[in-house]
A and B are shown apart, each in its own frame.
Chain A
Amino acid sequence: MFGGIDPALLIASLMVASVPILLAATGELVVEKAGVLNLGVEGMMIMGAVCGFITAVVTGSPALGFLGGAAGGAGLSLLFALLTQVMQANQVASGLALTLFGLGLSSLLGQGYVGIKPPHTGAVPFGPLADIPFFGRVIFGHDPLVYLSVLAVAAVWIFLRNARGGLILRAVGESHEAAHALGYKVRRIRVLAILFGGAMAGLGGAYISLVRVPQWTDGITAGAGWIALAIVVFASWRPWRVLLGAWLFGGITVLQLNLQAAGSGIPVEYLSMSPYLITILVLVIMSSGRGRAALNAPASLGQNFHAAR
């Protein structure tokens, strides 16, 4: 690792590094496609991180830990759904409050768990496949969540594109008035989308505390939720672009860590900010100048729905 950087290792580790934001961004994509802007991704992720960590430590099972993380994120998102869909509160304000609340609550819940090591999440046993040179290390040496995150992108893509439910979800996000006039349950669909987004963010958070770091400290998500939000917008609400954005972010994160370790001449501060900066820049360039990129934005995004006459 010192000096030259091994490409196989780089690709393998960028896939791992991008899992949390990929999961969270995929969930948020579905939420926003339903016309809801949930800015509480960071809060839901860190709730997932702490709930997943506690569950894994208590039960000793990483699988249950991930489930607990998803439940933690979904639980917090239920609060958001209650505020915005039932009590008609402003989505932007509620989302920001959700993040602050999640950060505080996770810190409280995690007090007794600082410095503990969670149970190890093993790689999927692919047997001889893992011994293939280069590809074995790049593709077949990961834990289940890496594959799950890519599968989730594909599933969301197919769901939105081809499934009846996906069409209804997009319709609700496009014009809740028209969807209501046709008899679709706008609020119910939005609550379900919010729960899915919460579960995905929680799963992403749990991946940070159980695999990436792996331990519990306050503020462990370190802004990953905000990057996930930005990726959704700059990816023009397209699932495969979300994957690209997440991998780009993960890749530069890994690269800059390697550069830091290699003792390059660039100051550490610049290296640390580079993943955020470059990811945003690339996605801005990709989503600008087309005109039609904006058309993919859900037209009712962030607007609350009141059933009028």
Chain B
Amino acid sequence: MTAAETGAGDLLRIEGVTKAYPGVVANSDVSFAIAEGEVHALLGENGAGKSTLVKMIYGLVKPDAGRMIWRGAPFAPSQPSAARASGIAMVFQHFSLFEALNVAENVALGMETPPPMRELAARIRAVSEEYGLPLDPSRMVGDLSAGERQRVEIIRCLLQSPKLLIMDEPTSVLTPQEVEILFQTLRQLRSEGTSILYISHKLEEIRTLCDRATVLRRGKVVGACIPRDSTAREMAEMMVGATLTPPERRATEKGEVALGVSDLSVASPIPFGTSLKAISFTVARGEVLGIAGVAGNGQDELLLALNGELRVAPDRVRIHGKPVGDLGPTDRRRAGLVSAPEERLGHAAAPNMTLTENALLSGAVRQGLTARGFIDWRGTEAFAEKIIESFDVRTPGTHVAARALSGGNLQKFVVGRELLQSPEVIVINQPTWGVDAAAAAAIRQAILDCAAGGAAVVVISQDLDELLEIADSFAALNEGRLTKPRPVQGLTIDEIGLMMGGAHGMEVAHHAG
């Protein structure tokens, strides 16, 4: 770091930057430097302060203390246009795009002095070809895939020939193929002398792409490393500040069948959804059934049919032998089944309601939080606090709206809310989607603990590593049909590929890493 301290060759130097919000110190005395033409990783868990830090560099947030040095001169952008004028461009975590506008209009909005539309469209085409990011300037952004939307953001940045490109968790919504295309683009940019500040908690990505890394934990810099020379495990432990232990599975006796599904066929209520076709399986007390499959093969529908949002004939779904197929979610909760859907905001949690209110929404029945039509607020508050404490949800308090939590923190909250209701049957879709390594490990451990306590668990996930880690038996969903569940022990990757209907080519390869 001596070179960084003298400032030679540094594009941007951050010195002692501090930013506090009511209830949270987002950044505390953060210092690091980005050299010319390097890909610098900013590593940290959810809520470590990465996003706040880059927002200060981009002029969206003003630091409380500290200073920034940009190419040798003090730098304090008052707004994003000032940062852009200096040569800083940013690709946002949640895309800053306008769905009802076309690609060219979206690009124009991110530029200070855009050329006339026709010329801009030509330049978009030229840049998109140069960097291998095909894009039609006249298309509506609302019609584009997640990968294409990101291309719009990247091209918007590239058209300004930035000196520093900030990317805030760019791969969280991309398929493995799209990630590969993105990395090629970023390598090309680096070879042209552009520095990249790359924010992620995906360690393998950082090892393949980045030259140096700065690690943040709870708003403080806790270390730096050369990703290529470190193992993913070392970096993860630096991020978490503790030794990571893989989830521990206690040997459990399989009990009697807790959840039985027989010959379940139901049309999808979702437009362009997949209907379920003759699904049958049983899950015993203490068993974890992992259900794999590429997105859109009936995962959402299966969750709806199991948790009661989609009603079927009574004897299709049984809990402890009792037919519950015609019961709604509340009655199924009463019967012992809890569920956590994939979509956190809007399905698992009501975005504008507080954590306490969200705790009540699913906890009322099993936790006895209502009596004679009135709400026991004190009990509900205590329940919400218990979730926050048990699952290490980082939030200023229970009065905070669900939408204000970062994705990983909210996921911990909605999963914790279900697991703490002493359930007998648990159905979870994508339990660790968008969650960092430490939090994911904690969630998986909690699921295993519930199973050890005698609950029957169904985990639906697209993450094969996760399923192999926690499931006892394994099945795959393929165009609405479920394969016969098989014990995980002794299952090979080839067999899994066949179960998933190999032709669909779920990325079995990516977990080789």
Contacts and interface: CB of A to CB of B under 8 A. Distances in A.
Interface of A: 164, 167-168, 170-171, 174-175, 177-179, 181-184, 295-296, 298-299, 308-309
B55 A183 contact: no
Q: Which of B51, B60, B142, B404 has the most CB of A within 10 A?
A: B60
Contacts of B84: 183
B109 A296 contact: no
A174 B101 contact: yes
Q: Which of B59, B61, B100 has the most CB of A within 10 A?
A: B100
Contacts of B52: 309
Complex A-B, nearest 8 residue pairs according to Cβ-Cβ distance, in ascending order: A183-B80, A178-B96, A181-B96, A174-B98, A183-B79, A183-B81, A171-B109, A171-B98
Contacts of B110: 182
A178 B97 CA distance: 6
Nearest to B84: A183
Nearest to A183: B80
Interface residues of B, number: 27
21 contacts: A164-B114, A167-B101, A167-B108, A167-B109, A170-B98, A170-B101, A171-B105, A174-B100, A175-B97, A178-B97, A179-B98, A181-B92, A182-B96, A183-B80, A183-B81, A295-B100, A299-B99, A309-B21, A309-B26, A309-B51, A309-B61
A167 B105 contact: yes
A177 B99 CA distance: 12
Contacts of A179: 98, 109
B100 A299 contact: yes
Contacts of B79: 183
Nearest to A168: B109
A175 B99 contact: yes
Contacts of B114: 164
Q: Which of A174, A177, A182, A298 has the most CB of B within 10 A?
A: A182
A186 to B, nearest CB: 12
Interface in B62-96: 79-81, 84, 92, 95-96
B98 A183 contact: no
A178 B61 contact: no
Contacts of A295: 100, 142
Interface in B395-440: 404
Interface in B239-279: none
Given A167-B105, A309-B21, A183 B60 contact: yes
A167 to B, nearest CB: 6
Given A167-B105, A309-B52, A183 B99 contact: no
A271 to B, nearest CB: 40
Contacts of A299: 99-100
B108 A309 contact: no
Nearest to B81: A183
Contact of A183 (B21, B59, B101): B59
Nearest to B100: A174
A187 to B, nearest CB: 14
Contacts of A175: 96-99
A181 B109 CA distance: 11
Given A178-B97, A183-B80, A309 B55 contact: yes
Nearest to B95: A178
Contacts of B100: 170, 174, 295-296, 298-299
Contacts of A171: 98, 101, 105, 109
A175 to B, nearest CB: 5
A174 B106 CA distance: 11
Interface string B7-20: 00000000000000
A167 B116 CA distance: 12
A174 B99 contact: yes
Contacts of B80: 181-183
A34 to B, nearest CB: 13
Contacts of A309: 21, 26, 51-52, 55, 61
